Structure 1
Amino acid sequence: MGSESTTASALMLIAEHRLRDEVRRIAAAADRHLDEQSTPPGRRLWTGAALVVLDSATVATAELSRYPRRPDTILVTEGEPGLPDWQAAATVGADHVFALPADADRLIEAFAEAESTGEDGAVVAIAGATGGAGASILSAATALVAADCRFRPETVVVDGDRLGGGIDLLLGVEAVDGLRWPDLVVRDGRVAASALHAALPAAAPGLGVLSCGRALDGRVPDELGPAAVQAVLSAARGAGDLVVCDVSGERGPHADRMLEAADLVVLLVPARLRAVAAAQAVAAHIGGRNTNQALIVRGPAPGGLRAAEVADALGLPLLAAVRAEPGLDARLERRGLGLARGPLRTAAEAVLAELGAR
């Protein structure tokens, strides 16, 4: 049983036992915890719940007509609703009447929508102009800095570089138990944000890591499904999180979903002539999917190419020009990226500042 102190949960007030079992099953499929009450719940529980699911028998016996009307109230019936069910729905001002089991998918959707905090999250995608540009490293650094400064309540870094070896290696959590892309099962096109946070390995407080897998037997890692990518991004954004997508040099439907969903796409370009030439094609590809692009130029510049010249050539706003990070390779090999003062943190802070301004 729930208690009066429970708030922002899904409240179930169902008298009919078969209907109660069916709602429990649906809530489990949606990864949603239920606060079950068999008596009148009290006004605090009634008004504080994110969602209320009830049946006609409860409406008739619990004197709910005396309670204030509230949004996100759903009346469920076993089979098609009759006139008494519609009258009960009108008594409590229910938003919907769902006939179970036929409307199970609609109830799953309602559970997922009710999990949203009402605070809109943010998505940033980071792409590289060439292989080895450092997009994965910048993605990991941006996520670490965001978690450290609490840019959003939670941060999730999403690995879209299927052949990159796994962003969990960069963050030093490759041995930590938790869900990776090959383990993710998406039901009905939805993922519950709370279940996602609980299942992911944590690289730091408030930072979950959804990494690609590694095919150690020589096989090519599985493709990432665009529907699964969309479900993860929607769940995290709806929960008010920051999502950092490592697109790197990936192309294809899953990468397109990341680019299209982003509030900001950052293109990382090494300060070399050939990289700038490649970046022109990459920027055009990204621009066909998202016009909210910005640029970071990374040194060294062996030919003296200046960041402003790169920005002019690409027609993109320049967020930062940073030199090479000293000692980075050794840090990555020994213990993972971690947080340190230096050019990489400067670049990550520039990304977050731009995202916050937008």
Structure 2
Amino acid sequence: MNRLAAPPSTGLAPALVLVRDQRLRAEVRRVAAAAERRTDERAMPVGRHAWSGAGLVIVDTAAARAAASAGCPRRSGIVLVTEGEPAVPDWQAATAVGAERVVALPGGAVDLVEQFAAHAEVETGSGVVVAVTGAGGGAGASTLAAAIALRGAALRIRADTVLIDGAPLDGGLDLVLGMENVAGLRWPDLVIEDGRVSAAALHSALPAGAPGLVVLSCGRHGPGRSPTELTPAAVRAVIESGRAAGDLVVCDVSGERGPAADAMVDAADLVVLVVPARLRAVAAAEVLAAHLGSRNPNRGLVVRGPAPGGLRGADVAEVLGLPLLAAVRGQAGLAARLERGGLSVRRRGPLRDAADAVLAMVGADRR
């Protein structure tokens, strides 16, 4: 077992501001500037990572109601702001979302400054997290996840790319890359203490799949060996170490379901759903898309051919109510390449196009 050290703490996280009214939002900005704190202004719905990872969450009454209806988890550091003295509906919304304080602005500016000071947490970093999952067996989620990681490393969109295997029953993501014999740690070898892990230690301990790319793969089963068990705490620790270091983190969720898979979905800046252009796969994807949406609204769709019944990507996107990132045909010879020596995306083709479309969606291609 290899015990990985925790990283040092650095910086302050921006406060998540979910305030629609322009005058009230401007007042929050003014107070944040006085408190010397940055803000991350968004609109509901937001992903669970943004909600749970912010040091302070500032909501108005409408956002508080929306967050409560969406099932955003209870947490410390929620403040509801109102323009002028709060009324009964404001207090009801504060109770529903679990707000610690209701602050009337502009008169309560000092109180809000104190809340900024009381909830100054560790900076979460500038990394990008993409989770890839599939609808139906053999959707191709693992292959797409590996292609995204390879393209990200080749383009150097971040200093480092980390590919995380979140499918312990799929035989090991290192096989997809043809690196099963490359030395380095796999999930069963890791012991993460205190729920945190140093990105530098992780980069040096994991096997390299390509220049700038390290891979955390599940182990393979065998006589006397149990399946790899992934815990949500370990998954979050690895993902957040990459995010804090500014890495591109790609998670292969595949068809996995459960707490560890949910942790990957919750943490993602973008969840990519891969759906084969077949009727049964689309039917399965309807249920899966609803589940993903309950955890993270930031979703995109990749439709993969061939389409025996003539299903088009736009048709599938309309049925699922998801933005279409790419609709690609089947790639000739891909299965044989995976069997012989592992995946590569050096040449142009449908897989590379899909990977580039995902990276463009998260803005990674502009770095």
Classify the TM-score, shorter chain. 0.5 to 0.7
Letter in structure 2 aligned against 1:181: W
Which residue in 1 is equivalent to 2:360?
353
Q: CA separation in 2, counterparts of 1:310 and 1:220?
A: 38
CA shift for structure 1 position 222: 2.7
Q: CA separation in 2, counterparts of 1:220 and 1:287?
A: 32
Q: CA separation in 2, counterparts of 1:218 and 1:183?
A: 16
Summarize the alignment of residues 156-167 of structure 1 with structure 2, pairs less than 5 Å apart.
156-167=162-173
Letter in structure 2 aligned against 1:346: D
Residue 337 of structure 1, aligned match among 330, 343, 346:
343
Q: CA separation in 2, counterparts of 1:329 and 1:133?
A: 13
Structure 1 alignment gaps of length 5 or more: 1-27, 34-49, 52-112
Which residue in 1 is equivalent to 2:140?
134
Summarize the alignment of residues 90-105 of structure 1 with structure 2, pairs less than 5 Å apart.
none
CA shift for structure 1 position 30: 3.0
Q: Higher relative contact order at CA 8 Å, sep ≥6: structure 1 or structure 2?
A: 2
Confirm or deny that 1:312 pairs with 2:309.
no
Secondary structure of 1:185 counterpart? strand
Query: How has the CA–CA distance of structure 1 residues 297 and 172 changed in structure 2, closer, same or farther, with 3 Å as cutoff?
Result: same
Aligned residues: 253
Confirm or deny that 1:215 pairs with 2:221.
yes
Letter in structure 1 aligned against 2:321: G
Query: How has the CA–CA distance of structure 1 residues 281 and 329 changed in structure 2, closer, same or farther, with 3 Å as cutoff?
Result: same
Q: CA separation in 2, counterparts of 1:291 and 1:268?
A: 16
Letter in structure 2 aligned against 1:265: V
Residue 302 of structure 2, aligned match among 296, 301, 318:
296
Deviations 1:41-60 (A, max 9, x none): xxxxxxxxx89xxxxxxxxx
**Structure ID, larger Rg:** 1
Letter in structure 2 aligned against 1:267: L
Letter in structure 2 aligned against 1:281: V
Query: How has the CA–CA distance of structure 1 residues 330 and 235 changed in structure 2, closer, same or farther, with 3 Å as cutoff?
Result: same
Residue 203 of structure 2, aligned match among 184, 194, 197:
197
Which residue in 1 is equivalent to 2:256?
250
Confirm or deny that 1:153 pairs with 2:128.
no
TM-score (norm 2): 0.66
Secondary structure of 2:249 counterpart? strand
Q: CA RMSD in A?
A: 2.3
CA shift for structure 1 position 215: 1.1
**Displaced runs of 4 or more, over 2 A:** 28-33
Which residue in 2 is equivalent to 1:56?
none
Q: CA separation in 1, counterparts of 2:285 and 2:126?
A: 31
Query: How has the CA–CA distance of structure 1 residues 206 and 313 changed in structure 2, closer, same or farther, with 3 Å as cutoff?
Result: same
Summarize the alignment of residues 97-136 of structure 1 with structure 2, pairs less than 5 Å apart.
119-136=125-142
Q: CA separation in 2, counterparts of 1:123 and 1:229?
A: 12
CA shift for structure 1 position 172: 1.1
